[in-house]
Amino acid sequence: MKAFQIGEQSGIQSLTATTRPDPVAAAGQVVVAPRLISLNNRDIQILRGSYGAKKPQERVPVSEGVGIITSVGDGVTAFAVGDRVISSHFVNWSGGDFGYHAFGFDLGVTHDGWLAERVAIPAHALIRVPEALSDAQAAALPSAGLTAWNALVEVGKVKAGDLVLCLGTGGVATFALQIAKANGARVAITSSSDEKLALARTLGADITINYRTSADWAAELMAQTGNTGADIVVETGGQGTLGQSIAAAAVNGRIVIIGVTAGQGLSVPNYGTIIGKNLTLKGIANGSNAMLAKLVRAVEVNKIDPLVAKTFKFDEAPEAYAYFAAAEHVGKVMIELA
Amino acid sequence: MKAFQIGEQSGIQSLTATTRPDPVAAAGQVVVAPRLISLNNRDIQILRGSYGAKKPQERVPVSEGVGIITSVGDGVTAFAVGDRVISSHFVNWSGGDFGYHAFGFDLGVTHDGWLAERVAIPAHALIRVPEALSDAQAAALPSAGLTAWNALVEVGKVKAGDLVLCLGTGGVATFALQIAKANGARVAITSSSDEKLALARTLGADITINYRTSADWAAELMAQTGNTGADIVVETGGQGTLGQSIAAAAVNGRIVIIGVTAGQGLSVPNYGTIIGKNLTLKGIANGSNAMLAKLVRAVEVNKIDPLVAKTFKFDEAPEAYAYFAAAEHVGKVMIELA
Amino acid sequence: MKAFQIGEQSGIQSLTATTRPDPVAAAGQVVVAPRLISLNNRDIQILRGSYGAKKPQERVPVSEGVGIITSVGDGVTAFAVGDRVISSHFVNWSGGDFGYHAFGFDLGVTHDGWLAERVAIPAHALIRVPEALSDAQAAALPSAGLTAWNALVEVGKVKAGDLVLCLGTGGVATFALQIAKANGARVAITSSSDEKLALARTLGADITINYRTSADWAAELMAQTGNTGADIVVETGGQGTLGQSIAAAAVNGRIVIIGVTAGQGLSVPNYGTIIGKNLTLKGIANGSNAMLAKLVRAVEVNKIDPLVAKTFKFDEAPEAYAYFAAAEHVGKVMIELA
Amino acid sequence: MKAFQIGEQSGIQSLTATTRPDPVAAAGQVVVAPRLISLNNRDIQILRGSYGAKKPQERVPVSEGVGIITSVGDGVTAFAVGDRVISSHFVNWSGGDFGYHAFGFDLGVTHDGWLAERVAIPAHALIRVPEALSDAQAAALPSAGLTAWNALVEVGKVKAGDLVLCLGTGGVATFALQIAKANGARVAITSSSDEKLALARTLGADITINYRTSADWAAELMAQTGNTGADIVVETGGQGTLGQSIAAAAVNGRIVIIGVTAGQGLSVPNYGTIIGKNLTLKGIANGSNAMLAKLVRAVEVNKIDPLVAKTFKFDEAPEAYAYFAAAEHVGKVMIELA
């Protein structure tokens, strides 16, 4: 089969085309033929060597996609050849609380991922895609979508009428916008680009703030919300934005910490505000398979259609990575297999 | 002022027109001139003597409405004459868990309610109505709306993709339908009337079941949901429907118990199913002022417009009661003051 | 190996001694040599044919025990020969919410259990027993102990100062008593025997009620608690006691439904009290592996030593069943292997 | 009456003896004669002008104590002259979530507090002290005790077997130690003094770390806990200790932020660990009256007796402040009235 693997050199140019034997479905596994796969920020970080302690050389990268089962191993009864499926990338986080076991089996990091013509996946991590969902609706749910769902629903306890603040227009942020709207919330979103903010409004954003022209965007949000602020902040910005996120949060607000910039310390001037507003800050890393099943259902019921910035052919995977890394797009960057 | 009060005889004909001195705003209170008030099932029960231990004779009835403040007592700083407000009817349940103190100050039961030209209310129970809301959007929130909110959001933890089951098309059930839809849920609803079910579909109901033609409506719901059932059941039916509600619930489902038929014991054949599905049954009585504030926000953000069956004039209050008691309507029965 | 299996005839006399080939550890499994095993009410029900839809003939029964690993299958890295372990009996309920998958792999029901010289168990269901715990402290945790833990900690949210009500002195109830005391709660317990109540007091029970002499034991509990009642009721009694449990519960109380009597409908006169007190009723079936790990830690830190009524030899397993079924004992009935 | 009030100059020497007219119980209020009052860190900060935006000159300070009701105002029915009571110092935070309204009526800050022969308090903030509790057991519950309870029970969800980490041996930390033990948890505590650590062990501390000799106390805790860390960190240290608290926390740990050093920014090197461990950081400010009622019950059931460092006479209040400010003591500093 054709595949891409992670090479030695640093940076996204280390993505290397290769051929490999087709994987065989071991007991409890299936083999999937990917149809549409989706890139995430961590795929770039992995190639740059800034994700985790060690660059996973020779690994097939990419942690999310949708495909068709081509073979099933011994003992697999819940799935059959021909089923269209997605998979948790933290293969062993079935449900309940996060644990370090999640990091132990991570598609695209510790085990071969989706950027190949075939990928072997334990059946217990799979979820069947409802017929009503397109490939594009399904492909980006396991990583970007699930992170947004965990942030808003599991941690944030979002409900109709809440104000959700999304930082920027990346994959997690735009999914968060859409999931928040599906749950009846109001959404504020920041960007350095008026074009991106206009796009966010087409997805339902209620308040848009250009942080280039409104550097103190927390104050701007407070001004636009009668000084109440955001019930939930989807903190994808990292250490550099946390201080403003604290300032922008409502009393009893929940700041869900997703983004971190490698090698940078945190420095915030308003630590006391965490007490003054009784804020909750909670770090998350993706989510469980049980959460993913709920997200799939929410997407189907609410017909959530993720914004796709651009779709590349399989052979153009390096171009897809470069396009993603340039960070000029809004929404998801995808790669389709014929 | 003109008012109605509860008379001696039993039944809704005991509603009696009267005149009284205008109430005076004591310290911490305001006086409100009602503009639109709304009837609930318990208003009927109160007149029939089947609500609580003792019929509250000479009480001005009705627990919810919207009005304008006409005077404020000493120490009231958060509200002013001219403000348009609603009020919790459990005046002293500000927030947190339910407690018996809620029953101790209950508008329309222990203290005079809304069916008069003026009503005195402690300021701490008031919520200002946003300008964007019509009187009709506001008037029915404190009782029917808040009960539905408590059931779905506080107890049920409703989220996008959940399936919510509403029993019948009464005031709580139709609010529950609308609040569930605002939170991105799917809604199933039962009725004995195809006309009422058609009306429910216009409010967004996804699954409608006529329990006259489908007597085993739990089995019908299971058949229509791939045997998964309802995540949340808004149990307004009372003892007679609980067995079917248990049968219709999903694994880990939450059955929120609101309705009870006086003097009738409970008898269900499927007690073991509560264990087999790990169900939660939770009784609620209305909700807190803190919940009501969240509901108002959700109504504004999602433009929820309650279904009004019919609106009567103040002098027609007895006709409004009779119309409500006939139970042929769908949605809210309201009374407007000139 | 020597083993007992479930025979054709009904009743506990269908327990049959047999010999079988030793189980072999398949990939992902270990084989355990039981040292001490523990009986539960459902073991009796299984033999009587009243547990689940179908009696599991030829199955090795018993769902909890402690033993030593004698061999490990391919891919098992977290455990080694010689490790002392216990196991979830719902093998596939790792964490998170209950699901029907729990019933799909149930030691002693769907798969061979502990009443043999060897038992094969998937490694992901195992928990290593800390050195500080005796075999007797460990053997009864997976079924009786875990059910009590789920009821009190996960559902009941027990905390110091709460009042916990346990019905009777069976295995779950006595564990609940001890776990409640470890969490700083006060405990009330009922029994028909003053001797059993005296024994409960030695385990820390604060309030003991003989329901033979105090038939209205709910009223008796209210009288002894200044009319506040129980925050948590561990409802092991079944349909026949639920009405009294509702009457004995505090405002906002949680009644955890564990016991059910086959073939009996529920009939309670005080359904409205569920609303009046805002009660929560929640059915549970055992618990997850993640909960079991927390229980083991709690037992170690608090040195919880379960009450053992009597310990039998392996060959005396039929006598152990008969002793258990007579229901004259207090605490756990155990079987030790040489 | 005799009282102390806050003077103009900065520092604890601004505490000024004075005489004032006795307060009169307005409608809804009672007047209390304090018997034993208790100092807290914020009492020092208030005198130093570093608590809140503005120093409350002429205010009678101190936020917690126990006393006897000497008169009741109109409408007060739940309390009578002679009742022994304590009071929430956030008078209007009855229950539910924290809100800014808590800061609006704060005994010893916005309204006159306990350091006088009489103090007027709204009746809805009072809790009757059970007979079984001594004055010393009751006096320090509303501020130090309640903060520890909120941290451990409400936010931390402490349960038997958890590991709780307390920083230092101040009033909140020693209460947290005792409340954690009452809930069946294991406790680790840090101090710069071996003497203080020895005292902590007499209160039940399981792990004691001298952070002078073990500067990297987080690593020391990890070494002593098999690398698992603390489930709950009671973060009273402020910005300077947060980085170590993050390092010392277990996966899914909860760090409850209580302490803040005025005018100091936060700087931590291990921000990414918040994600890597899925940590929760939550700021709290005291707690609600509903929580205080639960704490009182827990203290009674578990016979928690707070450590009192030293008790001063009323006239020695300045000495008590100086003794407290020197920070050489362990436990509570109290002032008794004859």
Q: Strand runs (DSSP E) across chain A, as ranges?
A: 2-6, 15-19, 29-38, 64-72, 84-87, 119-122, 126-128, 163-167, 186-191, 207-210, 230-235, 249-257, 266-268, 280-283, 308-313, 332-336
- Quote the CA–CA distance of B100 and B27 in Å, as a whole number: 24
- Provide the pLDDT for residue A52: 78
Q: Which of B75, B52, B122 lies closest to B94 in space, CA to CA?
A: B122
Determine the residue among D159, D251, D296, D299 to mutate to test chain C binding: the one whose Cβ has the most chain C Cβ atoms within 10 Å: D159
- Provide the pLDDT for residue B198: 97
* Lowest mean pLDDT, pick from B245-249, D8-12, D75-79, D300-304: D8-12
**Nearest-by-Cβ selection for C160 from D161, D186, D301:** D301
Q: Which residue of C has its CA nearest to D186?
A: C301
- Provide the pLDDT for residue B259: 84
pLDDT in tens, A95-127: 999 999 999 999 999 999 999 999 999 999 999
**What is the DSSP secondary-structure string of C261-323?**
-TT--EEES-THHHHHTT-EEEE--S--HHHHHHHHHHHHHHT----EEEEEEGGGHHHHHHH
Q: Is the pLDDT assigned to residue D44 strictly greater than 80?
A: yes
Enumerate the H helices of chain C as residue ranges: 41-48, 101-104, 135-139, 146-149, 171-182, 194-202, 217-224, 239-248, 272-276, 289-302, 317-326
pLDDT in tens, C222-250: 999 999 999 999 999 999 999 999 999 99
Q: For chain C, how are helix, strand and coil distributed in percent, rounded to 5?
A: 30, 30, 40
Look at strands A308-313 and A266-268 and give their pairing.
Answer: unpaired
CB-based contact B294 A159, cutoff 8 Å: yes
pLDDT in tens, C79-105: 999 999 999 999 999 999 999 999 999
Q: What is the mean pLDDT of residues A119-141?
A: 97
- Provide the pLDDT for residue B49: 87
CB-based contact B161 A295, cutoff 8 Å: yes
- Provide the pLDDT for residue D265: 80
C163-194: b or e for each residue (b if 16 or more CB lie within 10 Å)? bbbbbbbbbbbbbbbbbbbbbbbbbbbbbebe
Q: Which residues contact A326 (CB under 8 A, 6 or more apart)?
A: none
- Provide the pLDDT for residue C230: 98
Q: What is the mean pLDDT of residues C258-265?
A: 82
**Mean pLDDT over the full length of chain B:** 96
Q: Is the pLDDT assigned to residue D324 strictly greater than 90?
A: yes
- Quote the CA–CA distance of D233 and D236 in Å, as a whole number: 9
A-D C-beta contacts closer than 8 Å: 98
pLDDT in tens, B147-165: 999 999 999 999 999 999 9
CB-based contact A96 C27, cutoff 8 Å: no
Q: Which of D302, D133, D157, D168 lies closest to D232 in space, CA to CA?
A: D157
3-state secondary structure of D31: strand
Q: Sign of the CA dihedral C227, D178, A278, B156? A: negative
| Domains of chain D (ranges, CATH numbers) | 2-140+306-336 (3.90.180.10), 145-283 (3.40.50.720)
3-state secondary structure of D7: coil
Q: Which residue of C has its CA nearest to A290?
A: C96
Distance from CA of D197 to the nearest CA of B (A): 38
pTM above 0.95, yes or no: yes
Q: Report whether A93 contacts A110 (CB < 8 A).
A: no
- Provide the pLDDT for residue D264: 80
**Mean pLDDT over the full length of chain C:** 96
Q: Which residue of C has its CA nearest to D206?
A: C301
Q: Which residue of A has its CA nearest to C78?
A: A101
A-B C-beta contacts closer than 8 Å: 57
Distance from CA of C266 to the nearest CA of D (A): 34
- Provide the pLDDT for residue B107: 97
Q: Which residue of D has its CA nearest to A240?
A: D271
Q: Is the pLDDT assigned to residue A337 strictly greater than 80?
A: yes
- Quote the CA–CA distance of D279 and D268 in Å, as a whole number: 15
CB-based contact A161 B186, cutoff 8 Å: no
Q: Which ipTM value was assigned to this complex?
A: 0.96
CB-based contact D184 C302, cutoff 8 Å: yes
pLDDT band at C52 (very low <50, low <70, confident <90, very high): confident
CB-based contact B267 C265, cutoff 8 Å: yes
Residue numbers in A near B295 (CB within 8 A)? 161
Q: Is the pLDDT assigned to residue C274 strictly greater than 90?
A: yes
Q: Which of C153, C100, C162 lies closest to C290 in space, CA to CA?
A: C153
pLDDT in tens, A33-51: 999 999 999 999 999 988 8
Q: Report whether A235 contacts A170 (CB < 8 A).
A: no
Q: Is the pLDDT assigned to residue C53 strictly greater than 80?
A: no
**Nearest-by-Cβ selection for B98 from C98, C252, C269:** C252
Q: Is the pLDDT assigned to residue C259 strictly greater than 90?
A: no
Q: What is the mean pLDDT of residues A140-145?
A: 96
DSSP annotation of A288 reads -
Kindly give the confidence (pLDDT) of every residue in chain B, 338 residues in length, as a single tens digit, with 9 standing for 90 and above: 999 999 988 889 999 999 999 999 999 999 999 999 999 999 999 999 888 778 899 999 999 999 999 999 999 999 999 999 999 999 999 999 999 999 999 999 999 999 999 999 999 999 999 999 999 999 999 999 999 999 999 999 999 999 999 999 999 999 999 999 999 999 999 999 999 999 999 999 999 999 999 999 999 999 999 999 999 999 999 999 999 999 999 999 999 999 888 778 888 999 999 999 999 999 999 999 999 999 999 999 999 999 999 999 999 999 999 999 999 999 899 999 97
Q: Is the pLDDT assigned to residue D259 strictly greater than 90?
A: no
- Provide the pLDDT for residue A248: 98
Q: What is the mean pLDDT of residues A69-81?
A: 96
Residues counted in chain A: 338
Residue numbers in B near D27 (CB within 8 A)? 27
DSSP annotation of D64 reads E
Q: What is the mean pLDDT of residues C303-317?
A: 96
Q: Report whether A1 contacts A117 (CB < 8 A).
A: yes
pLDDT in tens, D147-197: 999 999 999 999 999 999 999 999 999 999 999 999 999 999 999 999 999
The Cα diameter of chain C in Å comes to: 61
| Token representation of residue D283 | 């700021």
- Quote the CA–CA distance of B179 and B299 in Å, as a whole number: 8
Distance from CA of A160 to the nearest CA of B (A): 5
Residue numbers in A near B297 (CB within 8 A)? 161
Q: Which of C329, C313, C297, C318 lies closest to C137 in space, CA to CA?
A: C297
| Token representation of residue B130 | 């946003």
CB-based contact A97 D278, cutoff 8 Å: yes
Q: Which of B241, B242, B255, B246 lies closest to B222 in space, CA to CA?
A: B246
- Provide the pLDDT for residue B280: 98
Other CB atoms within 10 A of residue A13 CB = 12
Q: Which residues contact A284 (CB under 8 A, 6 or more apart)?
A: A98, A147, A150, A151, A155, A256, A257, A258, D275, D278
**Nearest-by-Cβ selection for A97 from C27, C28, C290:** C290
Burial category of C324 from C-beta neighbours within 10 Å (exposed 0-12, middle 13-18, buried 19 and up): buried
- Provide the pLDDT for residue D338: 76
Which chains have 3 or more CB–CB distances shorter than 8 Å to chain C? A, B, D
- Provide the pLDDT for residue A104: 93
pLDDT band at A206 (very low <50, low <70, confident <90, very high): very high
CB-based contact A290 C94, cutoff 8 Å: no
- Provide the pLDDT for residue C338: 76
Distance from CA of D95 to the nearest CA of B (A): 5
**What is the DSSP secondary-structure string of D83-97?**
-EEEE-SBTT--SSS
Residue numbers in D near A227 (CB within 8 A)? none
